[in-house]
Each structure stands twice: as C-alpha cells, then as structure tokens.
Structure 1
Amino acid sequence: MLGAVPARAATMVTDNVISTIAQAQTNVPVTFGQVFKAGDIPRGWTVTATLKGQPIALQVDSKATHPDGSLRHAVLTVMAPTLPGNATLPLTLSTGPSPAVTGLDHPISLSQLLATSYDTSVSLNIGGRKYTANARALLQTAKDTNACKPWGTQCNQWLSGPQTSEWIINGPVTAADGTTNPNLRIYFAVRAYANGSHGTVRQVQTDVIVENTWAYMPQAQPQYTATLTSGSAGYTSPALTQYAYTRWHQVLWWNHVQPQVYLQQDIDYIQASKAVSRYMPLTPDEKFLASLRQACAPLDHCDQTQKMHMAGAQAAIGPLPRWTSVYIVDPDLRAYNWMLANTDALGAYGIHYRDQTTGWPLSIQKHPNVTTAAWTYASGVAKQSLTGSSAHQEKVAAYRRDLLPTCVNNTVVTNCTSTAYATGNPNLWDNAHQPAQSYVPYMVTGSYYYMSELAFAASLNELWSNPEYRNYEKGLIDRSHSQVRGKAWTLRQMAEAAWLLPDDYPLKAEFKADVENSLADWNQQYTHNPNANPLGLLDSGHSYSVLGGTRNAMAPWMHNFFTWSAGHAAELGFTGAAELRDWLAKFEIGLMTDWQAHPTQGYCWLEASAYTLVVTEPTGKTYLPSYSAIYAATFPSLVGLACNSPAMVTAMGTLEKTPWQAGKMHGYPQSATGYPANLQVGLAAAADSAVPNAHEAWNIFESRSAKPSGTTGYNNYPNFAVLPRSVPQ
C-alpha cells in the first residue's frame, strides 16, 4: 500500500481566483466545489494549495470518494489575504500528506456564530397576514438541543473547519398568533467565515430557501410577497404564486459584507476527470456572452422551456444543457451566472417531493408504490375495497399509503379533477426532455442548495414512473420509460446523482442501486441475450408508423442519446455500463460503415442522421435483419448507388428537394442542434467502445463536408460538441 501513494506532493489542477471589482480586498473567503480524477488524491492524503505561488491554508470538506478510496469531490475553502482589484491569481491544488491533528485548528462553532449579532429573517405577506421564520432562533434551538450533525433533519452540519462552518436549519413560517402555514417551510444554509483570528466570525453567507415541497400534504398554491433580511442586507420578491412541489432561494451576505470574487475552474481538468464528456475546444462569441441572463426572478422558468414536452430542439436537451455546456467549454463569469440562473429556474417546476417523515426527498424504497405518471391507475387501485385475497388487500393498502394528493380547484388552479394527477403549475417537466439538473452547478459550487436539487432530481425520476413497470423499489428504467430518449436522460440523471452526491447522503445508496439494477436489467435483456436484436436496437425503440407500416420505425437520434448516456455511465465507473454501451454502439457504427462491405447496397453514412428509420417489417412485429435491409426499406431510391458518389449526391438532392454535395449528411448538418449533431454524441461514445470499426466510424463522420458553423455553430451552442476520448483531436 505504501507504493500506491505519491512519494511527494504533485500538482493536480490550477484554478483561478478572480477579483470582480477594481478595488483591492483583504481576507477574501473563497468556497467552491472541486472534482478530482480517480487516484489523484489517494486515501490518507489530502489537498494542499498555493495562491500565486505562495502556500495558503486550505480547508477540505470531503464529500465523495472513488472506489479506491481516493477523493472524488470536496468543498474547498481558502482565505485570500489580499486580492488586488481586477486581479487573477492562480490557485494551484496539489496532493499532499494529511496534516497531523494538533488540536489548534478548531472548527468554527455555533457558539461563535451566536456570539455575534447575526440574524437572517423571512417575512411572507400571505393575503395580508404576516408569517415569519428566523434563522437565529432556529440555530439557538439547534444548539440547545445538540441537534447539529451530518444529515440531521433539524440541523444539518454541511461544512466544518477553521475557515468556515455551515449549518442547514429549517422551520415553518409562523404568524403572530402562533399558527403556521402547513405548506411553506424555510431552510437556511448559514455559512460563517473566520476573520483570521481564532474564535471570532467575520462574514456570514445565508442561502434562504423557500419550499412548498411536502409530498403528502394536500396541495396548495400560496400567493405572497417575501421580504428577506440579513442585518442591513435585504431582498424583496415580486408577487409570487408558489405551486406545489416548487422551491426558490436567495443568497444574502450579513450586513452586505460580501467578497467580490469568482473562482474560475480548470475546465480541461473537469473534462479529463470524466465527470463530464470531452468537448471540442470552442470559444463563445463575446456578443453572445454579453447577452446572457445573469439572474432570474424566483419561480421564473427563465430560459428553460416552460412546457418541456413540446416538440423540437430545446436549449436544455443534450448531455448538458446549453447554459452548462457553454460554461464547460468556457468558464467565463457570465456563463457561470447563466448556468446558475437556469438551474435556479428548475425550482419553478413541480418536481420537488420531500417526505415529511424523513425530511429527505421521497424514497421509492420507503414508498415503492408512489407514482405520478401512473397516478390514475394507482388511484383506481387505492379506491378498491380491502376485501378478497390477502395479496389483493396488501396491494390496495400499499397504493393507498403511497398515493400522492392531486390538486383541488380553487381561485388559483381550475383544471383539477379527481381522476388525473396535476398540480396546476404552468411550468411542466418532462422526463424525455429533462435537462441534466444541478449536476455541474453542485460540482463546481459545493452549494448545499445545488446538492439538494441534484437529489430532488433523482428522487423525481424514481417516483415519476409506473411502480409495477419499474419493479417497485428496484427502480428499473427500461420498461417504465417507453421513449428511448426518456431512458437515456433518466439513466444520466440517476447516474450523475449516484456518482456525485456525498458518500453518506441518506439516499445515495438507493440511487446507486437503481442504476446498477437498471444496467443489469438491460444487459440481461440485450447484451447477454443471444436472441436480442443483432443490430443494437431496443425492443421498445420502434414507435413511429411510416411508409404505410404500423409502429415500424424508430428515431435513431434517440438511440444516439442512449448510447451516449450508457457511455457516460461507463466513464463514471458503473458496473455493466461499458457492456451496454458496446452493445448499443453497434448501431451507430453500423450506420456509418455498413456501405464499406456493400458499396452499392449497404447503408450509406450520409443518411446515418435520418429522423426516422424503418426497422421492422410493416406490421412492426419482426425486426429487419441487417443495416442494408433498413436502408432499403427506408431509402429505396438510393439503393444501388455507390455511397457518396456523384450519382448518390444527385439522388440525395432529389430526395431532400434541395441541391446536395458530397459528404453532406441528412438533417440540418450545419446546425448545432441538427440530427448529425445528435449523432455526434452517440458516435463519440461508440468510438470509445470495443466494437470493430469504432474509430473508422468516427473518422468518416469527421470527414463530412457540412458541419455546424457560423451563427448556428457549436461555439455558442455546444450541447452536442462531444468528442471521443480515444481519438486524438
């Protein structure tokens, strides 16, 4: 084991501490999240830092580790003694031995915070009646009852160290006569920073979180104006209607003592860690960056598609949404703020279900029969009488226990019925179009709020589905999601939460089990099944009816998403994911290379980015036996022409009803959201597979003559600008 750790400190990554004002600052606290490659910070070692080449004290709050015990993710804090105006100081992180415990560096305590006059308050004007919540009172109660501990539901200790400590406390909003609002609850994430001398607090950041998230409370839609104060700092909201299962937050610095600083991450290192895919080297336009929203009002859907189920390209669709992929290729402060603004916007969607009995997002292990998608069926079962066999009675009782309340008509919502599930919220989430929720924001900020958003997203993906299709608490994804893109984005969300959430997070093991169960299920159905489709097609993939057939066609771009998602899970290290990726990758590789063995009859790669492909005979019951057969069934006018030949280009022009050129693929090839762009993510994952011709398929794709460019190019829209890791750029 001694040989497994570094003999001396080694530099891992260099981030930048950037001043955002012209004036010099002193004792500037900087807290951020940092992801690490497996093995970079071995078990028993820690992270050390230098700022502009000088050693600086670094607080390391470890959150997640790799299977080998090395550090995967931590919340890091430094205190910059001086920060000149508009300066950029390199913060270099290295591997170093864990320091000996001396007893001199005590964590900032709750007593030290309460020794100050710190307070943060929330006041809600609901129908002319004032309801309040007070952080100091909640902290005092937590101290008196010794309630602060990791994952304590009354007081959760999030950070603990000599530079900063953070506590998460919560409580209801209460009127002057002592009555509380049953739906609204306030969470305060209170982060206290040392002032450089032992035993005192200098700065306090409070993230105020307003929730209407109780899963089994009768739905309500409180309407109010919120006033938040933290010493002399304050915020007043616009008039809000807060639908069920929504939340919003606002960060305040006590008495306006706020550092003006931005921690710019090394995005090359983040990509190399495999936490996110490898992206093309891109530079967003200055005009584009200057146009980005830097914040949005509470409960505003911002740039998220308000009704996510709507057809067409959406900025949120892709391995990462547009605001996050822009940040990952260029961590400009404006891109960072845009990413956080649109992550905050997801609070406006009814996708946050908190269990009152545990205090955590709803668990399908505790509520195996909960569902929203199959709510009508669940409600019907719950209404049946408790008679008959014991199995029937147990089923009825289970659905009754786990049935979520639907909305009731009132002055705010008017389309509610007792036979369908709804919240009345005009902002509609959709599993098949969902963005990667809060994954990168939590990764780079270390914020408790963004961590909890990531957990809520995983919980929602669990409980959404039909409980019988997901096999109740096992959380199987395949059968419970009919759309292949729904399978893809659900696997991504579950894998990212299971990978990045803190090791001891109460639901992490459950989310990890869902991913492992689903991968094992897919591999049993496909990878290790000799009777599975030999072309890499899923049984539920053919859902379109074309050319007179019945459900005889599928969307290859959805398959591209799923191949990427399996590849992403493989890069995150989930057992069985690489096997599934390789099985799926046969499809992308086959569409790109089949013509090589069959020059005039094989599938020509110019149509590998088609919108739909006929994959079965007309009745939809029997799959076609080869890529050549798929090609002939879908593009009969192209059969017999040499792929990419002048005759083929002429025929493509006739088929597309526009002049064509050699090497130009079908489906908006110059657009960053076109079908070749969708294909790119699947091919990138396929190129990293063990499937024959994997690199050849990628090289052919790279040879195409029409690529995203200009105003529709990848620079400002890099959602699909993913590269293989195994192919040099």
Structure 2
Amino acid sequence: MPIHRVAAFLAPVALAASLATASAQGMLRAPTSPAAKAANDVVGLIIENLAAKPLPASPITFGQAFLPGRVPAKAGLIARIDGKDVPVQVDAKTTYPDGSLRMAVLSLIAPPMAAHAKAPVMLATAATAAGGAVDLARLADDKGFGLTVDLTFHQEDGSAAPFHLDAGPLLAKALAGEKPDYWLRGPIASEIRFDAPVTGSFHIVFDVRAYADGTTHTDLQFANDYAMQKAGGAVKYDVLVKEDGKIVLQYRNLVQFQYENWHRTLWSGTVPPVNLARDVDYLERIGVIADYDLAAGAPAAMVAEEAKQMGQPGFGAPLATNGVTQYMPMTGARPDIGPTTRANAIWLLTQDPMAAAYALWQGEAAAGIPWHFWNREAGTWLNTDQNPQIWADPRGGANGLTQQVDGKNNGWAPDTAHQPDLSFVPYLFTGSRFNLDELNAQAAFSIVSTWPAMRSGAPDSTGPDNVIFGNQMRGGAWSLREIDEAAWANPDGTVEKKYFSKVMDDNWRWLASQIPALTALEGEAHGYVIATFQYDYALAPWQQDYFSSSAAQAAKLGNRDARAFLAWSTNFLAGSVFKLGHDSVNYVIAVFPHRNPAIGQIYWNRDKNGWDYAEPLKNWRDIEENTKRYGPSNGSGWARSDGDYGQLAMLALAGIQSVVPSEAAEKAYEWLQKSGAPYTDANSLHHTPEFDIVPRPPQS
C-alpha cells in the first residue's frame, strides 16, 4: 500500500542505527565514498539497506551534480555495483557551457541487498543507453492504478462541498496534451506533471512516476497558492486518498491559508528502505555547497535530538513547522539561520539517514510557509517580468496581491532577512520537483516582497529586481542566496532559469559597478556595503560576513561579478582583524562620526546618487578610536562578542580563500583561530555545524 516515504520507514529503522552510532563514538562523519580509479569513473556513493531483512531489486531516483567536463555532452552513465555494470537513466537538467553535464536526475534499479548491507557504487561514463521510455499510458489505462482524491470543504454556513478527482483520466488527458510536462523520461522511469484546479486558489499538483519494474511513485501537492485571482482565501477541508479502493491517506479538518501548501509521496508497493550516502567533498569541489569541515563531522547527539523531535506528536503532519521558526524576524542565534540550515549542515556532514529524514521534513515545512505566489496565467511564480512594480505586501496597492497574506491567523511571519535555506540541499540530493518548486517559490518571494521603490531605485540599476540596494545586508545575503541557487538549479531553457539568472546577474553586476564609488567613500578601510540596517554611527560587521557567504557561493558557481566583489571586500573583512583587533569581532563597528543615536537607522537618499550618508571615517585609526569613544568596544577583551560574531568572521574569511588567493584572509583566519574569541574554538564550531566552514584553496 502506498505510504509516505519518510514517515513510513526512516524514523523507526534509522533511529535505532543512528542512536547506536551515537553511543558508540559520540560523533558522526560522512562515510568515505569509493574513489575514482578508472579513466571513465566520475563520482562514488554508497547505497545502504536500512532494513533488518534482505532487500529485493529496487528502483532509486536521486539528484547528482558534476564537475565541469566529467560527463561530456551525449555521454551516458553506468553504476558499478559489486563488480557489475548497472544501467543508469540520465535526465539532464543543466549543462556547462561546453555541453558537459552540470546536474541531472539519475534513476537505476539497485540489485538485491542483504539486511543492513552497504554497497559502494561508482558512477562512470558509458555509451548512452538504448531503449524506449517507460510508457505512462499504461497507468492511465490500468484500473489497478486507481488513485482517487476526495475532498470535503467545510463552508462558513456549515454546509459541506464535496470534490472528487480521479488521477487516471487526468493522467490520460495530460499525456494527450500538446506538450506533456515530463520531468523524467527513459527506459527506467518516466514522470509527468499535471495540475487539477479545485476551488478558489486551491488546486492539486500531481507528479506521477512509473518505473520499468512496475512500481509507481506519486507526489501530491495540496496547493492553495494561486495568486492574483478573483477568488482565494483559507480553506477548511477533509481529504481522503485511495488507491485500488484502499485508503492510503486521510486527514480531517485541515485549515490551509492562502499561499500555503503541503505535500505527500505515495508508492504503489513497499517503499525502498535505502539511504544514499553521497560524496560531499565532490560537491564542495564543484562549489555547489560551502566548504564544511568534513573531518569534524557533527555531534551524534544532534542527530539523536532530531530523532527525538521527529517522534513528537504533530511532527510531520500537514502544514507542521517541523522545527522551523515561524516568527522569522526573531533575533538571536537560531539553528535555521546561516548559509544553510543546521539540519542541512548535519545531513551534509554525516550522510546519516536520520539526519536526512529531519532535513527532508524541514523541506516539507517550507511548503507551509505563506510565500507561494503562483501565477496561473503565466505558468510560473509571480515575478517582476510580469509586473515590474509588484509588491507582495499589504501596502502594495494597485501593484499588490489580489488577496493579501493572512499574517494575523496563519502563524507565520516570513522575512527575507531571516529566511532559512530549506530546499536547495534537498533538491540537490533528491532531484525532486517538489523541492525545486519550494526553492523557486522562496526565491520569487525574496524579490516580490522587496519594496519596488528600492528594487528599481538603485543608482545605475539595470532592472526592477535589485534586492541589495536599501536592504539589510542579511536580507540581501539570504535573498541572493535563494536567487542564485534557483538560477543554478532550474533546468536549462525554462522560464525560471531565464528569470532567476537575469535577476542574479543584475544584482551582482550592479554591486560590482558600485565598487569605485564605495572605495572612494570608504578610503583605506574600504570593502563594506553601506546598508539601511545600521546604527546612526556604525555598521554590523556580522551582516557583511553573512553577505560574503552568499558572494562566495555565487563566485564558486562561476559569477565573475560576485568574485570581483569578494576580492574587493577582503580589504575590510581581513583588514579589520589586523587594524581593529578585538573590535573586529563585535556587534557593531563605528565607521561613521557619531550623530544623534535617537535617529536609529540611516536610509538611502536617492537624491544624492544613493550614497548620501554622513561621511564615513576613511582610516582604521579613526574607526577604532570612534568605536572606543561611542562603543560598544571590546577593548583588549571579548566582553561585547558573546555571540556567533567570531564564527561568522571565520566563515567569511574561509569563503574568501575558497575563491581568491589571499594571504591577508589566510592570516586573519589563523589569528581568529588562536584569538580566544568566544565560540571560535573547534568544539564550539563542531556544535554549530552550519557555521563550521573551513578554507579550501581554489580548484582543489
């Protein structure tokens, strides 16, 4: 009977394995993947049978990124498992300029495995496999598929409105369409998407997959995200999903506000109880993730705590938060804030199945955040190509949403300056279209929720999509992170690829163009971006560190303007360590002459070309004296640094070294390691794995 993949098997099976490991060694590290030996070897991974019984041959689909040139254009792949070559279906999603594969969704039929067995796998290039694609039409014609969805909507007047959907005819209609929306299509697996409008802004998205072995896999998204429609709002309903007349999913009295979604995966048979341990070092070399300290791993106690949370009542329910902070503006250190979330970092560092389950559940929680604005007419997320002045804010007026986000009742307060990176790592590992949807929705939100007067008001800006100018630096950091990841992840030739790539390029190009003006303005201490969120006399260096992490990611993925910015910012990020000493690791650095602290924040003055601030101090000595005069200054100690500021400075300096050779960044990083600044020791970093990023020389 089809059951939800993560909830069904990972919790009970992986919990025992994970806790056993935790008690044995106290920490978890990603296992070493098989090393490439033959000329056509590409990358290794490990398949693990999590069950206490033998596993028959099972279908597996997952995402995989590749180094440039390793999988040439038109080349295929095989998987070497136990000395045998297993065919691999390659559904290419993105390519490098030379045509070689950048990212693909891979499908294979894994051979039988003994109980708790682990099998090393080597992906290697081979001739493209021949053979026709799995025919989804057999599902539309097969009465055995029989997937039905019954909804009962509870109206305000107390009446009930039933709604019935039969997936078979909907699938047949999608296949007969002019342009069937395939995600996978090959001899091992085929997958197609179709959408069923229901009522108001509510609809159901089906992603139906059939494997060559007869297994089916269906993703259901219960989406209340149509935007700019005449009708919308919250819905209260019951849902009953049957397959072959058997109940496979049932919930009652769900309350789903507009712009919130939830998702479930159904299998036609036993869910393959497998974990894929990936070569994370390989992904770091590509630059698709930050350079986490793989040698340190992550504390097993953290994985055990995640397991405990997953066992709590309500965890994993539709629209559950699953450990994600609902009030995002909440300040202070949070495990979901950073270059990625702590959950994703633990998954990357350990490749533990329990860690994977928890991170995937947080990816499910992303669906429930009311930042989903789907433009049904355009067939994509609401964006500035459709309306340059769109503003998803109650103050949007004629350019606002037709129905506003119900922030009073839905429990969420989304915020670009504190948004967690919930979906990119899950998409990278699973290749799931659902996770890509979530990444795209968040990236679009990062743009359309930014005040259009600032988006389009930047001096010398090239379009209506600037998310840096006038933003908090942390807001610019996390918005660009989502946009850059969406630009990288979306399949070549799609509307989303074109749009997010344009926004990414516009923003980094604009920032690089501002370097001469900022250099002249800031003098010998140049290298920081002046943002709206800063005290009357000071800037927040830790927000510059946040921003540098996004710049490092963009630069590693090939953006030259981000690289130029990161090289320029090194003067401040590294120089402040040597010139300001203990005050470089601080909540604020007083770079402006002191004026009236009651003013609170300084905002952009567009009448003076965007840089009309109090003239910043242009040399390090004056900045240090000003910081001591108006404070708060650390002096010769660390009294003002009892936070994660030292960790953030270290990750910024590590990121620089991964992109541009910098002796200054290297020495500054080493000084901080030995400085005694709070939480910069190895043990503290080990317990905040989302910040445990280490230097890696470029191209290593």
The alignment's TM-score, normalised by the length of structure 1, stands at 0.81
Q: What corresponds to 1:240 in structure 2? A: 254
Change in CA separation of 1:488 and 1:126 when aligned onto 2, cut-off 3 Å? same
Deviations 1:615-637 (A, max 9, x none): 11123601011222211111259
Aligned-residue sequence identity (percent) comes to 26
Tell me whether 1:404 sits opposite 2:430 in the alignment.
no
Distance in 2, matches of 1:625 and 1:131, equals 67
Q: Secondary structure at the match of 2:248?
A: strand
Change in CA separation of 1:587 and 1:28 when aligned onto 2, cut-off 3 Å? same
Deviations 1:97-122 (A, max 9, x none): 435x5xxx110112222343213222
Tell me whether 1:191 sits opposite 2:209 in the alignment.
yes
2:508 aligned to which of 519, 531, 544: 519
Change in CA separation of 1:627 and 1:236 when aligned onto 2, cut-off 3 Å? farther
Q: What corresponds to 2:650 in structure 1? A: 680
Q: Secondary structure at the match of 1:118?
A: coil
Change in CA separation of 1:705 and 1:323 when aligned onto 2, cut-off 3 Å? same
CA deviation after TM superposition for structure 1 residue 528, in Å: 7.1
Q: What corresponds to 1:342 in structure 2? A: 362
CA deviation after TM superposition for structure 1 residue 94, in Å: 1.6
Change in CA separation of 1:478 and 1:405 when aligned onto 2, cut-off 3 Å? closer
Distance in 1, matches of 2:698 and 2:90, equals 35
Q: What corresponds to 2:101 in structure 1? A: 71
CA deviation after TM superposition for structure 1 residue 612, in Å: 0.8
Tell me whether 1:561 sits opposite 2:537 in the alignment.
no
CA deviation after TM superposition for structure 1 residue 147, in Å: 4.1
Q: Secondary structure at the match of 2:389?
A: coil
Distance in 2, matches of 1:474 and 1:721, equals 36
The 8 Å contact of residues 522 and 617 in structure 2, kept in 1 or not, is answered as: no
Question: Which structure has more helix as a fraction of its residues?
Answer: 2
Tell me whether 1:322 sits opposite 2:342 in the alignment.
yes
Q: What corresponds to 1:331 in structure 2? A: 351
Distance in 2, matches of 1:634 and 1:585, equals 21
Tell me whether 1:617 sits opposite 2:593 in the alignment.
yes
Deviations 1:416-468 (A, max 9, x none): xxxxxx57421111000011241111010010101111111221112111223
Give matches, 1:106-125, under 5 Å.
106-116=132-142, 117-125=144-152
1:505 aligned to which of 482, 494, 498: 494
Task: Count matched residues.
Answer: 627
Tell me whether 1:697 sits opposite 2:662 in the alignment.
no
CA deviation after TM superposition for structure 1 residue 476, in Å: 3.7
Give matches, 1:311-390, under 5 Å.
311-373=331-393, 375-376=394-395, 378-379=396-397, 382=398
Distance in 1, matches of 2:420 and 2:324, equals 9
Change in CA separation of 1:728 and 1:68 when aligned onto 2, cut-off 3 Å? closer
Deviates more, 1:425-434 or 1:713-722: 713-722
CA deviation after TM superposition for structure 1 residue 235, in Å: 1.7
The alignment's TM-score, normalised by the length of structure 2, stands at 0.84
Change in CA separation of 1:574 and 1:637 when aligned onto 2, cut-off 3 Å? closer
Give matches, 1:22-41, under 5 Å.
22-41=52-71
Change in CA separation of 1:238 and 1:287 when aligned onto 2, cut-off 3 Å? farther
CA deviation after TM superposition for structure 1 residue 185, in Å: 0.3
Deviations 1:588-639 (A, max 9, x none): 1111122xxxxxxxx22x2221011111112360101122221111125999
Partner AA of 2:584 in structure 1: A
Change in CA separation of 1:244 and 1:692 when aligned onto 2, cut-off 3 Å? same
Q: Relative contact order: is structure 1 or structure 2 higher (C-alpha 8 Å, sep ≥ 6)?
A: 2
Distance in 2, matches of 1:478 and 1:355, equals 21
Give matches, 1:36-435, under 5 Å.
36-99=66-129, 101=130, 105-116=131-142, 117-127=144-154, 128-143=160-175, 145-149=176-180, 156-173=181-198, 181-195=199-213, 202-217=214-229, 218-231=231-244, 232=246, 234-237=248-251, 239-254=253-268, 256-280=269-293, 281-292=295-306, 293-294=309-310, 296-373=316-393, 375-376=394-395, 378-379=396-397, 382=398, 399=399, 403-407=400-404, 422=407, 424-435=409-420
Partner AA of 1:699 in structure 2: E
Q: What corresponds to 1:463 in structure 2? A: 448
CA deviation after TM superposition for structure 1 residue 58, in Å: 0.7
Deviates more, 1:562-571 or 1:215-224: 215-224
Q: What corresponds to 1:598 in structure 2? A: none
CA deviation after TM superposition for structure 1 residue 492, in Å: 1.0
Change in CA separation of 1:628 and 1:135 when aligned onto 2, cut-off 3 Å? farther
Distance in 2, matches of 1:120 and 1:722, equals 46
Partner AA of 2:51 in structure 1: I
The 8 Å contact of residues 148 and 167 in structure 1, kept in 2 or not, is answered as: no
Unaligned runs of 5+ in 2: 1-35, 155-159, 596-612
Change in CA separation of 1:186 and 1:635 when aligned onto 2, cut-off 3 Å? same
Change in CA separation of 1:8 and 1:302 when aligned onto 2, cut-off 3 Å? closer
The 8 Å contact of residues 646 and 680 in structure 2, kept in 1 or not, is answered as: no
The 8 Å contact of residues 108 and 161 in structure 1, kept in 2 or not, is answered as: yes
CA deviation after TM superposition for structure 1 residue 334, in Å: 0.7
Deviations 1:323-354 (A, max 9, x none): 11111111100111111111111112110110
Q: Secondary structure at the match of 1:486?
A: helix
Deviates more, 1:22-31 or 1:113-122: 113-122
Q: Secondary structure at the match of 1:74?
A: strand
Deviations 1:474-514 (A, max 9, x none): 35435554211111111111111101211122221111011
Deviates more, 1:75-84 or 1:128-137: 128-137
2:621 aligned to which of 606, 611, 628: 628
Partner AA of 1:207 in structure 2: D
Distance in 2, matches of 1:134 and 1:711, equals 56
Change in CA separation of 1:71 and 1:423 when aligned onto 2, cut-off 3 Å? farther
CA deviation after TM superposition for structure 1 residue 268, in Å: 1.7
Q: Secondary structure at the match of 2:103?
A: strand
Change in CA separation of 1:637 and 1:146 when aligned onto 2, cut-off 3 Å? closer
The 8 Å contact of residues 647 and 680 in structure 2, kept in 1 or not, is answered as: no
CA deviation after TM superposition for structure 1 residue 310, in Å: 1.2
RMSD: 2.8
Partner AA of 2:593 in structure 1: E
CA deviation after TM superposition for structure 1 residue 239, in Å: 3.0
Q: Secondary structure at the match of 2:381?
A: coil
The 8 Å contact of residues 477 and 487 in structure 1, kept in 2 or not, is answered as: no
Partner AA of 1:125 in structure 2: T
CA deviation after TM superposition for structure 1 residue 319, in Å: 0.5
Deviations 1:167-194 (A, max 9, x none): 1111023xxxxxxx22210011111111
Q: What corresponds to 2:14 in structure 1? A: none
Change in CA separation of 1:617 and 1:638 when aligned onto 2, cut-off 3 Å? closer
